[in-house]
């Protein structure tokens, strides 16, 4: 009797949402993009504005995700924390080949396909830990940004240390992002981020101070 050949089971990803908007953060602000928000996260960032993506979501195959993404706009993989679903992420990236893909990550796990991204945005709470530095080295194969969300507890000495570390990488940048409260930018954090940006610029040139513009525009 001939053995039945089993079909490989498609890997499914847990997805919180897929939507079209403009990039509202970082160096590519204003760029119209598709966003694929992965569900699940193992971090507890004090400034988290996507708590809904830490749990829940729907299981989808990469084919199903691709079907939802129309046209040829760039794709932003975000979360939640995308590196926690590494196998699915690799499969999705293979299907997105030829398209401009960005990722926003907190670096929970190594990013196996770092070189597949147009740009990598890494956000970490300061001070940078040895693991954060290791993650930075691993993503430095591509242009990347360290996003620092400035809150009332952010200390300039930690920002300065991060800047000095990133100074080793020609393809790095730092975005100081004042924390938002709901749809509003925290005014005290905005003033602090501006002050920090000016001081950091004396030792590290590729610094930007940018609030989340999608919130100002009342967009997703």
User: Distance between CA atoms of 40 and 46, rounded to whole angstroms?
Assistant: 16
In the bound complex, what is the minimum distance in angstroms from residue 10's beta carbon to ligand SF4? 25
Taking CB under 6 A as the rule, does residue 44 contact ligand SF4?
A: yes
Taking CB under 6 A as the rule, does residue 79 contact ligand SF4?
A: yes
DSSP structure string for the chain: -PPPPPPPPPPEEEEEEEEEEE--SGGGTT-EEEEEEE-------TT-S-GGGSS--EEEEHHHHHHH--TT--EEEESS-GGGGHHHHHHHHHHTTTS-EEEEE--SS--TTGGG-SEEEEE-PSSPPHHHHHHHHHHTTS-EEEEEEE-TT--HHHHHHHHHHHTT-TTEEEEEEE-EETTEEPHHHHHHHHHHHHHHTTT-SSEEE---HHHHTT--
Taking CB under 6 A as the rule, does residue 45 contact ligand SF4?
A: yes
Binds ligand SF4 (CB under 6 A): choice among 21, 50, 140, 171 = 50
Taking CB under 6 A as the rule, does residue 17 contact ligand SF4?
A: no
Taking CB under 6 A as the rule, does residue 53 contact ligand SF4?
A: yes
Nearer to ligand SF4, 31 or 45 (CB): 45
Selection from 23, 47, 160 nearest residue 106 by Cα: 47
User: Distance between CA atoms of 14 and 220, rounded to whole angstroms?
Assistant: 20
Looking at residues 104 to 143 of the shown chain, list those that interact with ligand SF4 (rule: CB under 6 A): 106
Nearer to ligand SF4, 29 or 45 (CB): 45
The 54-73 contact track toward ligand SF4, x by CB under 6 A, reads x-------------------
Nearer to ligand SF4, 11 or 48 (CB): 48
Binds ligand SF4 (CB under 6 A): choice among 48, 66, 194, 210 = 48
In the bound complex, what is the minimum distance in angstroms from residue 23's beta carbon to ligand SF4? 16
In the bound complex, what is the minimum distance in angstroms from residue 176's beta carbon to ligand SF4? 16
In the bound complex, what is the minimum distance in angstroms from residue 4's beta carbon to ligand SF4? 42
Q: Which residues are at the interface with ligand SF4 (CB under 6 A)? A: 41, 43-45, 48, 50, 53-54, 79-81, 106
């Amino acid at each position: 009797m001939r053995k039945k050949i089993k079909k490989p089971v498609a890997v499914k990803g847990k997805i919180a949402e897929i939507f079209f908007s403009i990039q509202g953060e970082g160096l590519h602000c204003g760029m119209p993009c598709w966003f694929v928000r992965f569900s699940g996260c193992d971090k507890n960032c004090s400034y988290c504005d996507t708590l809904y993506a830490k749990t829940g979501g729907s299981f989808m195959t990469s084919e199903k995700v691709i079907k939802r993404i129309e046209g040829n706009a760039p794709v932003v993989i975000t979360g939640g924390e995308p590196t926690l679903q590494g196998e699915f992420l690799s499969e999705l990236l293979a299907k997105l080949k030829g398209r401009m893909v960005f990722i926003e990550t907190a670096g929970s796990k190594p990013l196996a396909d770092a070189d597949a991204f147009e740009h990598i945005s890494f956000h970490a709470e300061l001070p940078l830990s040895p693991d954060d530095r290791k993650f930075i080295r691993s993503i430095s194969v591509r242009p990347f940004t360290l996003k620092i969300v400035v809150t009332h507890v952010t200390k300039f000495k930690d920002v300065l240390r991060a800047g000095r570390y990133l100074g080793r990488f020609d393809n790095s940048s730092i975005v100081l992002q004042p924390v938002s409260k709901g749809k509003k930018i925290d005014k005290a954090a905005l003033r602090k981020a501006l002050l920090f940006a000016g001081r950091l610029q004396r030792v590290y040139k590729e610094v930007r101070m940018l609030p989340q513009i999608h919130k100002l525009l009342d967009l997703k």
